[in-house]
A and B are shown apart, each in its own frame.
Chain A
Amino acid sequence: MSLLQTLYGIFSFLGHYPGYAISYLIETVLYLIVISLFLIFMIYLFRKFMARLQLRLGPNRVGKFGSLQLIADALKLVGKESILPKERDDLPYRVAPMIVMVGLFLAFTILPYGSLIGIGSLTVTNSAVTLVLVFAVISIMPIGEVLAGVSSHNKYALIGALRSIAKDISFEVPMMISILAIVMMASARVPDSLSISSIVSAQFLPYAVLQPLGIFVFFTAMVARASYTPFDMGESDSELVSGYSTEYTGMRFAMFYVGLFGSILLGSMLVSLLYLSGYNGPLSTDVGVIWLVIKAMILVLISFTVWLSMPRIRIDKFVNFGWKYLLPISFANLIISGILTLGLGW
């Protein structure tokens, strides 16, 4: 029994197709709300965590322990005047932050979340190609960043967008090759190895143990995908003011900001699904989503620590790093995984 089936049970009087359509729609909207709230919680966690690392207190005025601070900030951003640059390219300028958000939230609806007692499976779609679909969808996000940079007609934004492109090209190839190793390893045990849930069930041992190089490349790529320090050359607030989002204010800026945290969460979820056996864990299988969230949150905290302790890498150094180190490492990982799969039958 899954959440979708429960919803369909309510709407089945509409007939087969409309019933499923409505159920899908309601479930997706539900997820968007839950994930948005979770992202707000994550930003609060980040600020508290950052404050602890930096010998500060963090938000502590609005609500108990500052818990309502983020709500207040969100309301402030909603209420802000949206200042549009005069020379902008209107349509791309308005659409760009939405593209980032659409890419992000679409990816969240494709992920499998395991199950929870009383609700059943939380997975929305269980297509055989969810892995491909997720990466296809998150590849939309850079388009939004580039559009934002080019359309706002600002030199800082333009340089930021160019850096973003250079960065994306140099980490995406190693990332894809490290995923290839996972698909290869999973294909020895499960039939449809392009589905994330099959990959999770194929992990008799977490793939992090079998492919330590793979998780290194993939996690690095996810850091670069989310673009926080050390890999935030696209924004690089001390050099390019705010990079491609320089000319954005109010809610549009908040979309980029939420996109950043969403990318961190998405990256952590993907790492825990693909490398840390996702929603599988000890105890009952009915609490899968809790395992997933615990694993993802540990990775999120690791990401925050990296973010707060590293200086920014220069863009040319990063391109070097991507092509000269990450790519060979991911190939080595592919070969090692191949040997493990074929030779030892793992």
Chain B
Amino acid sequence: MSELMQLNIGPQHPSTHGVLRLKVKVEGEIIREVEPVIGYLHRNAEKLCEMTYYCDNLVYFDRMDYVASMNMEAGYLEAAEKLLGIPPPERAIYIRTIMNELSRIASHLVWAGAFGLDLGMLTPFFYCFVQREKILRIFTEACGSRQETNYFSIGGVYQDLTPEIVDHVKAFITEFPRKLEEIYNLFAKNDVFIQRTKGIGYLSPEVAIQYGVTGPILRASGVPYDVRKAEPYLLYDRVNFDIPVSKKGDSLARFLVRFEEMRQSIRILGQIIDKIPEGPFFNPKAKKPLMIRLRGDGEVYARTESSKGEFGVYIVGDGGVKPYRVHVRSPAFKNLSILPVLAKDQMIADLISISGSIDLVFGEIDR
């Protein structure tokens, strides 16, 4: 049995979340070596950003983490607005925070559903997606688009948030916690689910830090690091919320941390939804025709907490209307790098559940 069989999982495989390819060496059912191969969804987003105006680059960021596109937009604007010197008005900051947290919930719901599918649970997927659909409906009302929203714009947001939409958000945050518990129970009260996740894919905090892992996975390993607390942006220094941390470091801990994060997002939304100030929703310096004339000089790095982890955007401007260089620190890419460590000497079934628990989105990894 010393001979290893090479198994090629993906890029077309039911549970590789898009186009991940794993070169796996197996000994029977035991995995001895995993090598992730990426690049099947590479669209050259960083290079394309150098060829368009600052205000237009948002569309490429929308298509990076397409399940949490508002998080991506917030990350880009955090850097671009710093470089261009156009701060958004107060109302826009509130709207962005609301959308950011809704997007985080939507992303975690997609993750939970897909994780269930990876483990062979068909039903919770639909319960998650029904709730996500409500969020997407709010997005549609706000900006006319479901997934690649392109809602934020430099110096504010593209459209104002009408009172009806605010009411819909309120209705969502009053009814969602009950539905969330329902979904939570579908998973957490199932013994087989616990058996499949508890103690599987243990990640120690040291290894997590070595590999640059961030987001819910890092927090599930016991490191209370969240950019929203460490380096607050938008409204996060003005609202109360906790960073959910678990010391277990296994797939179950990642599941619990993500669900707790959704509850905290609802808590944040509840605090700010009634306090949206009146006023303009974009900075007059970034009015429509003026937008393309914005010139940036110097370099800036900004980091935000996307649903996957720390999302960093580095922009260099050479004084022109287009950025000289844009670089993205993709959280899911860094998180993917621990898959070979976690999956070593595990079984094939566990490889799938571990890669599911990492929350991979290939739009962002390949860019």
| Closest A residue, CB atoms, query B16 | A238
Cβ–Cβ < 8 Å partners of A317 in chain B: 195
Q: Is the CB of B120 within 8 A of A159?
A: no
Task: Name A289-327 residues within 8 Å CB distance of B.
Answer: 308-317
Task: Name A120-165 residues within 8 Å CB distance of B.
Answer: 155-156, 159, 162-163
Q: Is the CB of B126 within 8 A of A56?
A: yes
B192 interfacial by beta-carbon distance below 8 Å:
yes
A333 interfacial by beta-carbon distance below 8 Å:
no
Q: Which listed residue (A50, A155, A238, A314) contacts B15, Cβ 8 A?
A: A238
Cβ–Cβ < 8 Å partners of B117 in chain A: 238
Q: Is the CB of B192 within 8 A of A230?
A: yes
Q: How far is the CB of A338 from chain B (nearest CB, A)?
A: 31
Q: Is the CB of A309 within 8 A of B348?
A: no
Q: For the complex, what is the distance from the CA of A316 to the CA of B122, rounded to whole Å?
A: 22
The 8 A CB mask of B106-133 against A (1 = contact, 0 = none) is 0000000000111111110111001000
- Known contacts being A54-B122, A159-B29, A238-B119, is A312 close to B349, with CB within 8 Å? yes
| Closest B residue, CB atoms, query A56 | B126
Q: Which listed residue (A56, A155, A229) contacts B120, Cβ 8 A?
A: A229
Q: Which listed residue (B116, B126, B349) contacts A314, Cβ 8 A?
A: B349
Q: How far is the CB of A58 from chain B (nearest CB, A)?
A: 12
Q: Is the CB of B350 within 8 A of A155?
A: no
Q: Is the CB of A238 within 8 A of B123?
A: no
Q: Is the CB of A310 within 8 A of B192?
A: yes
Q: How far is the CB of B180 from chain A (nearest CB, A)?
A: 15
B44 interfacial by beta-carbon distance below 8 Å:
no
B288 interfacial by beta-carbon distance below 8 Å:
no
Cβ–Cβ < 8 Å partners of B195 in chain A: 313-314, 317
Cβ–Cβ < 8 Å partners of B341 in chain A: none
- Known contacts being A155-B5, A155-B7, is A314 close to B120, with CB within 8 Å? no
B291 interfacial by beta-carbon distance below 8 Å:
no
A247 interfacial by beta-carbon distance below 8 Å:
no
| Majority-rule SS of B interface residues | helix
- Known contacts being A54-B126, A230-B192, A239-B15, is A311 close to B121, with CB within 8 Å? yes
Cβ–Cβ < 8 Å partners of B120 in chain A: 229-230, 232, 236-238, 310-312
Cβ–Cβ < 8 Å partners of A55 in chain B: 126-127, 130
The 8 A CB mask of A161-191 against B (1 = contact, 0 = none) is 0110000000000000000000000000000
Q: For the complex, what is the distance from the CA of A314 to the CA of B7, rounded to whole Å?
A: 19
Q: For the complex, what is the distance from the CA of A198 to the CA of B125, rounded to whole Å?
A: 46
Q: For the complex, what is the distance from the CA of A236 to the CA of B28, rounded to whole Å?
A: 16
A30 interfacial by beta-carbon distance below 8 Å:
no
Task: Name B1-55 residues within 8 Å CB distance of A.
Answer: 5, 7-8, 13-15, 26, 28-29
Q: How far is the CB of B283 from chain A (nearest CB, A)?
A: 43
Q: Is the CB of B13 within 8 A of A309?
A: no
Cβ–Cβ < 8 Å partners of B351 in chain A: 239
Q: For the complex, what is the distance from the CA of A310 to the CA of B186, rounded to whole Å?
A: 9
Q: For the complex, what is the distance from the CA of A232 to the CA of B349, rounded to whole Å?
A: 12
| Majority-rule SS of A interface residues | loop
Cβ–Cβ < 8 Å partners of B28 in chain A: 162
A14 interfacial by beta-carbon distance below 8 Å:
no
- Known contacts being A55-B126, A55-B130, A238-B15, is A314 close to B347, with CB within 8 Å? yes
A78 interfacial by beta-carbon distance below 8 Å:
no
Q: For the complex, what is the distance from the CA of A242 to the CA of B352, rounded to whole Å?
A: 14
Q: Interface size of A by Cβ–Cβ distance < 8 Å? A: 30
- Known contacts being A53-B123, A155-B5, is A238 close to B352, with CB within 8 Å? yes
B240 interfacial by beta-carbon distance below 8 Å:
no
Q: Is the CB of A314 within 8 A of B14?
A: no
B196 interfacial by beta-carbon distance below 8 Å:
yes
Q: For the complex, what is the distance from the CA of A314 to the CA of B351, rounded to whole Å?
A: 11
Q: For the complex, what is the distance from the CA of A313 to the CA of B118, rounded to whole Å?
A: 12
Q: Is the CB of B119 within 8 A of A312?
A: yes
Q: Which listed residue (A53, A56, A159, A311) contacts B348, Cβ 8 A?
A: A159
A340 interfacial by beta-carbon distance below 8 Å:
no
Task: Name A33-57 residues within 8 Å CB distance of B.
Answer: 50, 53-56
A241 interfacial by beta-carbon distance below 8 Å:
yes
| Closest B residue, CB atoms, query A230 | B192
Q: How far is the CB of A318 from chain B (nearest CB, A)?
A: 10
| Closest B residue, CB atoms, query A233 | B349
B190 interfacial by beta-carbon distance below 8 Å:
yes
Q: For the complex, what is the distance from the CA of A53 to the CA of B186, rounded to whole Å?
A: 12
Q: Is the CB of B127 within 8 A of A311?
A: no
B193 interfacial by beta-carbon distance below 8 Å:
yes
- Known contacts being A53-B123, A311-B116, A311-B196, is A239 close to B352, with CB within 8 Å? yes
The 8 A CB mask of A223-241 against B (1 = contact, 0 = none) is 0000001101100111111
Please list the residues of chain B having a beta carbon within 8 angstroms of any beta carbon in chain A.
5, 7-8, 13-15, 26, 28-29, 116-123, 125-127, 130, 186, 190, 192-193, 195-196, 347-352
A-B contact pairs, 15 of them (CB 8 A): A53-B123, A54-B123, A55-B130, A156-B7, A229-B122, A237-B120, A238-B117, A239-B349, A239-B352, A240-B348, A241-B14, A310-B190, A312-B119, A313-B196, A314-B350
6 extra A-B contacts, CB within 8 A, seeds A236-B349, A316-B29, A317-B195: A155-B7, A229-B121, A237-B120, A311-B121, A311-B193, A311-B196
Please list the residues of chain A having a beta carbon within 8 angstroms of any beta carbon in chain B.
50, 53-56, 155-156, 159, 162-163, 229-230, 232-233, 236-241, 308-317
Minimum-distance CB pairs A-B, first 6: A312-B120, A311-B119, A54-B126, A238-B15, A311-B121, A229-B120
